[in-house]
């Protein structure tokens, strides 16, 4: 019987340090807040963030900084539009720019809800082939890149999906696998569905 009492007593003694640590931790959480708070409506918001920055107690009326440009103040009317227009088209070959603008007109006429802008089409052209200038290619007046711009074979390797040839090699010079073609890098099956020579 004495052995059973000692076992219970030892178990109870082992729980005392755990109870003390738990009580101390709870007391530290319940005691006075370590961060001052500011009323914000009905919610309490810390007045000081962990990195030491203060939270404003009132709404900010004006932005912290306002950029000022001497050029912007000098541009009026059509001059501002002219600067934006030339800045956004200056690096695009004329044939590519005409194609992008024509694409906007054609798709938005066919689908009034599309709202595709030529700038978005140009952004895609820039990413895909630098507006038809990938690897030294040059666009002719009709927008054809020379030498041709062909993607890698879509044979299921290098993170691609396997797409067997759909055009008999007519567009992509590959009669086994499809490849992305041209400045916009469309695959032949896409051209067969939505391609327009406008």
Summarize pLDDT for 76-85 with one digit per residue, the tens.
666 555 544 5
The residues pairing with 145 across neighbouring beta strands, listed in sequence order, are 139
Residue 112: both structure tokens together: 């009034």
pTM: 0.55
The tokens 């140009």 sit on which residue? 122
Residue among 114, 86, 118, 79 nearest 100 (CA): 118
Residue 151, number of CB atoms within 10 A of its CB: 18
Residue 37, number of CB atoms within 10 A of its CB: 13
Q: Alpha-carbon distance 131 to 91, whole Å?
A: 9
Regions of the chain short of the pLDDT cut 70: 1-47, 49-51, 53, 55-88, 198
């Amino acid at each position: 019987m004495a052995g059973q009492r000692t076992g219970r007593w030892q178990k109870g003694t082992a729980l005392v340090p755990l109870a003390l640590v738990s009580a101390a931790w709870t007391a530290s959480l319940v005691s006075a807040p370590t961060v001052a708070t500011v009323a914000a409506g009905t919610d309490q918001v810390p007045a000081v963030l962990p990195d030491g920055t203060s939270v404003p107690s009132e709404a900010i009326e004006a932005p912290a900084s306002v950029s000022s440009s001497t050029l912007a103040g000098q541009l009026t009317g059509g001059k501002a539009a002219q600067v934006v227009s030339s800045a956004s088209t200056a690096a695009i070959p004329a044939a590519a720019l005409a194609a992008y603008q024509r694409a906007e007109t054609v798709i938005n006429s066919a689908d009034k809800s599309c709202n595709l802008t030529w700038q978005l089409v140009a952004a895609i052209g820039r990413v895909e082939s630098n507006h038809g200038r990938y690897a030294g290619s040059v666009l002719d007046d009709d927008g054809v890149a020379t030498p041709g711009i062909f993607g890698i074979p879509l044979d299921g390797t290098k993170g691609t999906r396997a797409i067997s040839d759909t055009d008999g090699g007519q567009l992509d010079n590959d009669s086994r696998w499809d490849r992305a073609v041209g400045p916009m890098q469309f695959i032949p099956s896409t051209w067969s569905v939505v391609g327009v020579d406008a």
